[in-house]
Chain A
Amino acid sequence: MSKLLMKGNEAIARAAMLGGCEAFFGYPITPQNEIPEYLSEAMPAAGKIFLQAESEVASINMVYGAAGAGFRVMTSSSSPGIALMQEGISYIAGAELPCVLVNVMRGGPGLGGIQPSQADYKQITRGGGNGDYRVLSYAPENLQETVDLLKEAFDIADTYRNPVMIAVDGLIGQMMESVDLNRPSPVRPKVSKPWATTGHGRGEQRNIINSLYLDPGELEQHNLSIAEKYKIIKEKEVRYEAYQLEDADYVIVAYGTMARICRSAIEILAESNIKVGMIRPITLWPFPMKAFQSISPKTKGILCAELSLGQMIDDVRIAVEGAFPIAFFGRAGGMMPEPNEIVNAIHHFPKGGDAL
């Protein structure tokens, strides 16, 4: 095992190549520029495709084309750029194409800012594109986890013929941390792509990549078949970390950088004999609903902490089903809380939770 001290975005780029990325299309946007910068040199040197597109709209459609041709393809962007890609993501999901999307999140709405944020939770889990579709999305909390997930991401996308997103807040993209790029990741069976438009098909053999079904009955069948796939993803792919849930006085729900800050807060709270556990979703969709069943009946309340003004909290409420009082703590616009702010939120946990 050899660890390297690396910047997040560079680690993402290198992990994508280790994961088997064969083509990258992207458009510059802060704070993820080190990803295309690294790949613009490394991909052609490895005989792979790199192209800077004229827009995020073009990037995601290049991804559509390359994915449809059977290639392992990726793009990376940040929140407003991901917003521009939503139409393409809907088409990719509709045509059942595999691809990997990296979102290094920044503050919004609109042009917002360039500092770290988690205000894309709804954009990621609800989708800004049209139709009944889902994006299998992961939110790692450190570079090692980011790298490990990226190395698996292409396999997962191929398995389900669905876009997979790795969403990190800008801090993870910009910070330096030690990381082992060669840590073995789970290997899934190699998937063949008989559906790809490789230009070798005619007659019965030809392939069509398509999301258009003018007959409503056929379109419903198509939707039902995709929904069946999402059901399997929900059964098999949910990931989360349950941290010190046993006998916890309070449970925090947080992901990404916010989860790291909450770990420090939990240590501080332990010094004053307040036991706090944490549920850290690693998959944002599917959301780890079942994790909430292991919360102790003694727990007095659940604090949802986000780098936004409250987006994941909707899923927390759905998961909790009214069983515990819920309160929210959030910072927005790229502001990072001190652990003490979360400590205070626990100390002043409102009786019965936040008013709905």
Chain B
Amino acid sequence: MSQQFVQGRSKGLTNASFSYCPGCTHGIIHKLVAESLEELGMLGNAIGMASVGCSVMSYNFFDCDMQQTAHGRACAVATGIKRCLPDRIVFSYQGDGDFAAIGIGEGIHAAQRAENITVFFVNNAIYGMTGGQMAPTTLIGQKTTTSPQGRNAARQGLPMKVCEMFATIEGAAYVERVSLHDPRAVMNAKRAIKKALTYQRDGRGFTLVEFLSTCPINWGMTPLDALQWTKTTMAQHYPLGVFADRGGTSNE
């Protein structure tokens, strides 16, 4: 009996093996972004920004032109490219350290200018690559290597609600938070990615998709428990849904 592949690797991904830990959902997000670019016919017209963090090597994985950017600066680099090449699809792929901590200024101003770029923001509530330190999105009570007693609001401040903040910015055409805790959530995440990229193609302005993502290794959980934790605990503080969907301010 001959075998037929009904599901293959997206053309948006190279053949390189992912460098992510077992059970981490970065791989799913990569796949969804790649499939979306492919299905929207954007491959070969896209330029991606790799950031600093677990996804630092994403330039090895997305099969399109890529720029590796300094920590937190992906939105500024993307702005430089998009202003010069306005008909290309320009996206950044950033973690919570890169986008929400060191790069929050660049993100806010890119949105404020209605910069016509798409940010894929991966929130796993921890610094994964450096070994599990506290992130701006670490939950209250969550233990990390730099909040060993658990994050305490008085001592370490409150977890940052990125989508809620960006929704207040008029230049942000589309802001949605999604999760990957089950197949249905994964399909929903892909819908959000495609919507953001479509908005960019149509020149509607800044688009942001936040993904609640797992870090089983640094959370000290099994992959399944980690998925469950995003669904229950994380999504409680970071509710899923659309935070902004504006007709569109374009740069023109």
A contact residues vs B (CB 8 Å cutoff): 22-23, 25, 49, 51, 53-55, 57-59, 61-69, 71, 73, 87-88, 91, 95, 197-203, 206-212
Nearest B residue (CB) for A203:
B63
Interface string of B54-86 (1 = CB under 8 A from A): 001101000111111110010011111101110
Known A66-B81, A88-B73; contact A58-B106, beta-carbon cutoff 8 A:
yes
Residue pairs across A and B with Cβ atoms less than 8 A apart, 12 shown, are A53-B109, A58-B79, A59-B76, A66-B80, A69-B47, A87-B70, A197-B65, A198-B65, A198-B85, A199-B44, A202-B64, A206-B64
Residues of B with C-beta under 8 A to A61: 69-70, 73, 76-77, 80, 106
Whether B105 sits at the interface, judged by CB under 8 Å, is yes
A208 and B77 form a contact (CB under 8 A): no
Residues of A with C-beta under 8 A to B89: 199
Which secondary structure dominates chain B's binding surface? mixed
A199 and B67 form a contact (CB under 8 A): no
A68 and B67 form a contact (CB under 8 A): yes
Residues of A with C-beta under 8 A to B88: 198-199
B79 and A65 form a contact (CB under 8 A): yes
Residues of B with C-beta under 8 A to A91: 69-70
Known A57-B76, A62-B76, A199-B88; contact A69-B81, beta-carbon cutoff 8 A:
yes
A62 and B79 form a contact (CB under 8 A): yes
10 extra interface residue pairs, beta carbon distance < 8 Å, beyond A54-B105, A208-B66: A57-B73, A57-B105, A58-B76, A197-B81, A199-B45, A202-B44, A206-B65, A207-B66, A208-B59, A210-B59
Whether B43 sits at the interface, judged by CB under 8 Å, is yes
Tell me the number of A-to-B contacts counted with CB atoms below 8 Å.
133
Residues of B with C-beta under 8 A to A58: 73, 76, 79, 105-106, 109
B contact residues vs A (CB 8 Å cutoff): 11, 43-47, 50, 56-57, 59, 63-70, 73, 76-81, 83-85, 88-90, 105-106, 109
Residues of B with C-beta under 8 A to A200: 44-45, 65
- The one of A73, A206, A208, A212 in contact with B80, judged by C-beta atoms closer than 8 angstroms, is A73
A68 and B81 form a contact (CB under 8 A): yes
How far is A28 from B89 in the complex, measured between Cα atoms in Å?
A: 29
Residues of A with C-beta under 8 A to B11: 202
Known A199-B47, A208-B66; contact A66-B83, beta-carbon cutoff 8 A:
yes
Residues of B with C-beta under 8 A to A68: 67, 77, 80-81
How many whole Å from B63's CB to the nearest CB in chain A? 5
A201 and B68 form a contact (CB under 8 A): no
Known A54-B109, A64-B77; contact A49-B63, beta-carbon cutoff 8 A:
no
Known A62-B77, A65-B76, A199-B88; contact A51-B83, beta-carbon cutoff 8 A:
yes
B85 and A199 form a contact (CB under 8 A): yes
How far is A51 from B82 in the complex, measured between Cα atoms in Å?
A: 12
How far is A353 from B251 in the complex, measured between Cα atoms in Å?
A: 61
Nearest A residue (CB) for B109:
A54
Nearest A residue (CB) for B42:
A199
How far is A224 from B252 in the complex, measured between Cα atoms in Å?
A: 45
How many whole Å from A24's CB to the nearest CB in chain B? 10
How far is A200 from B65 in the complex, measured between Cα atoms in Å?
A: 7
